[in-house]
Amino acid sequence: MIYPVYVKNYPAPDFNKREILRYAGVKEDIIEINALIDECIKELDGKLNYKVCYVEYPVKILGDDVDLTFTSVTSKDLAKNLKNCNDFILFAATVGVGIDRLIAKYNALSPTKALIFQAIGAERIESLCDLFNNEIKEKYKTVKPRFSAGYGDLPIEIQKDIFTALNCSKNIGVILNESLLMSPSKSVTAIIGVAKDSDSANEKVCAACKKTDCEFRRENEN
């Protein structure tokens, strides 16, 4: 059976300065930092492209073995996340290469500004993923938290299969290098389970994930 891959372009989501500050590691509301964020946001105008490609697959789970249709994997954490799901959405999202160029530029000129652009990039890609996630939730009503390669015991190597299934390079211009890093760097791939009921739709993935140094980790899920 052929499972079609869909591609969507999005307008820029609203900026969340609180999240930008969190990603930057700034715990206080500092006037100078807020001004720098505003300056960086202004410089980003017109340089980001919000794109998502996705496909819907059936899923079968037997113990810790998960048949994702496009590949199979043994993962206790993914099996738990997809419990009571018959289907899932596999997606990739990116905000494009523009912010990577600005980060590279300011790494030499202004490390502080480079840090702010890194934080904005993290906030931008998460906002895009949240936007897509909310659309999926509106359509299917009951969905699981998105789950990415590298979360818990799901091996990062599954990225190779994900990129093949979604044809990310062709569809949204994202490539995977030999070290399994994505370019543009502010890109995400993930799985969203479509649940049959609401028994565990509000589970928090970050609470179950041992990757505590992840820049996308949400504080209220620790």
What digits encode the pLDDT tens for the residues 22-71? 999 998 878 899 999 999 999 999 999 999 999 999 999 999 999 999 99
CA–CA distance, 33 with 147 (Å, rounded to integer): 32
Q: Is the predicted pLDDT of residue 175 greater than 80, yes or no? A: yes
In this prediction, residues 142-155 reach a mean pLDDT of 96
pLDDT band at 204 (very low <50, low <70, confident <90, very high): low
pLDDT at 29: 78
Give the helix ranges, DSSP H, for the chain. Answer: 17-23, 31-44, 76-81, 98-109, 111-140, 159-166, 168-172, 205-208
- Whether 213 shows a pLDDT value over 60: the answer reads no
Q: Is the dihedral of CA 177, 6, 49, 189 positive or negative?
A: negative
* Tens-place pLDDT, residues 70-108: 999 999 999 999 999 999 999 999 999 999 999 999 999
Q: Which residues pair with 66 in a beta bridge?
A: 61, 73
Category of 157 on φ-ψ map: left (φ > 0), alpha (ψ -120 to 50) or beta? alpha
CA distance 122 to 187: 9
Distance between CA atoms of 11 and 9, rounded to whole angstroms?
A: 7
CATH architecture group of domain 11-221: 3-Layer(aba) Sandwich (3.40)
Q: Which of 62-66, 81-85, 115-119, 202-206 has the lowest mean pLDDT?
A: 202-206
pLDDT, tens digit (0-9, with 9 covering 90-100), for 124-143: 999 999 999 999 999 997 99
Average pLDDT over the chain, rounded to whole? Answer: 91
pLDDT at 222: 42
